[in-house]
Amino acid sequence: MQENLSPTVFDVRALGAAGDGVTDDTAVLQAAIDSAAAVQGIVFIPPGRYLTGPLHGAPKIRLTGAANFSFREPGGSVLVLKPGCEAKALLDITFAYGISIDNLCLVGDGIEADRLVHGIGIFKEDYGKQEDTPCIDHCRIERFSGDAIHLQRIWCFSVRHCSCCFCGGAGILVRGWDGFILDNWLSGNRGAGYAAYDENASVTLTGNRIEWNRSGGIVARGGAKYNVTGNYIDRSGCAGMDIQGGSDFAVTGNVIYRSGKPEWTTDPATSAHLILRSVAGVSFCGNSLAVGRDDGGKGSWSPSTGMVLDSLTDCVVANNVLHNGATENLVLEAGSMENCSILNNMGSVYDIS
């Protein structure tokens, strides 16, 4: 993309951004976003390291670059948050209806930063009258003190092919509904890989690798209408999947491995692959659950329990495999089961002695 390619394409290098990791490029980057907003255009960020303060998105624009990242490192088009910034997020897309963000790496100033800063954020006091519809695709978002992606009162969204990693909060935190979370790495966060603690519904989680997250793999409180299919959930600090106080989840074809890492939690009740508590209308079928320890044969074997089932109504938990599924109990029925089918959950307790 050259400077005169199109009056609707804004190359930040052509506009004066240095991209050297030293020069403050905030003003140029924000000016490009504002110019694109006037014509519903594209902001192109060529490969480089752009030191920046907080940026504010705009409706119906596209922020794009060339993100050439690996599992361990960012590369290509990298936005680096200036240390000590007063910001809610590096990229605030509140009210940026219809924004597309792709092929960028966003790097925070570390999980021990004094302020809670997220990578990409939406911060709304109410849901408003229209769908947000951000599309976040092929981005790497790492080392923020808060969440990699923080969506507060979101209404319609997709996150695909992204690496949300090594943050002080969650990989993706959702308060809202109507979302697609597909084919992502949610790795090494101090919070959960996916977290929803307030109202949440109508989310599809498919084909994600959710691993080494201290507060759990997938955590949903009071959620409804979820489709959770084909995810790999590995070495969570708490439960691999923790669903409480909600209804109508279809969960199938997931692998949940070595949950409840003891070194990361002091609550033995979270040492489980699955916690279902006070839920209704949940189908948990055709999943594979197994114990494990840290890579290289290090650390403690976990979890102690395969599945914790407590106060269920109209649920089916069936045909799951727990080969070497837990160190103590495969299935723990801790509360009432009203009109439920709990059967054919075949497996074996793993002897760690």
Of the candidate ranges 105-119, 158-172, 181-195, the one whose mean pLDDT is the lowest: 105-119
Task: Identify whether the C-beta of residue 232 lies closer than 8 Å to the C-beta of residue 209.
Answer: yes
Write the pLDDT tens digit of every residue in 261-302: 999 987 888 999 999 999 999 999 999 999 999 999 999 999
How far apart are alpha carbons 248 and 337 in whole angstroms?
A: 16
Asked, as a colleague might, if the bond just before 303 is cis with ω within 30 of 0, I would say yes
Q: Which two tokens stand for residue 141?
A: 């978002």
Mean pLDDT of 135-162: 98
Residue type (1 letter), 218: I
Of the candidate ranges 40-49, 211-220, 266-275, the one whose mean pLDDT is the lowest: 266-275
Q: What angle do CA 171, 175, 176 make, to 5 degrees?
A: 125
Side-chain half-sphere exposure of 223, counting CA atoms within 13 A: 33
Report pLDDT for 1: 39
Q: Is the pLDDT of residue 147 over 80?
A: yes
In the chain, what percentage of residues exceed pLDDT 70? 99
How far apart are alpha carbons 249 and 210 in whole angstroms?
A: 18
Band the pLDDT of 4: cuts 50, 70, 90: very low
Q: Where is 147: in which H helix or E strand?
A: none
Write the pLDDT tens digit of every residue in 247-264: 999 999 999 999 999 999
CA-based nearest residue to 169, from 151, 181, 153, 182: 151
Write the pLDDT tens digit of every residue in 296-320: 999 999 999 999 999 999 999 999 9
Report pLDDT for 5: 59
278: exposed, middle or buried (Cβ count in 10 Å: 0-12, 13-18, 19+): middle
The rounded mean pLDDT for the chain is 96
Go through the chain and tell me how many residues it has.
353
Task: Identify whether the C-beta of residue 175 lies closer than 8 Å to the C-beta of residue 196.
Answer: yes
Q: Is the pLDDT of residue 330 over 60?
A: yes
Q: Please list, residue by residue across 157-182, b when 16 or more beta carbons sit within 10 angstroms of its beta carbon and e when fewer do.
A: bbbbbbbbbbbbbbbbbbbbbbbbbb
Q: Which two tokens stand for residue 255?
A: 């692998």
How far apart are alpha carbons 77 and 84 in whole angstroms?
A: 22
CA-based nearest residue to 120, from 133, 132, 108, 103: 108
Residue type (1 letter), 135: C
Band the pLDDT of 77: cuts 50, 70, 90: very high
Q: Is the pLDDT of residue 221 over 80?
A: yes
Report pLDDT for 6: 79
- Pick the residue with more confidence: 85 or 294? 294
User: 263 — phi, psi (to 5°)?
Assistant: -70, -10
Report pLDDT for 304: 96
Of the candidate ranges 2-11, 17-26, 123-132, 175-184, the one whose mean pLDDT is the lowest: 2-11
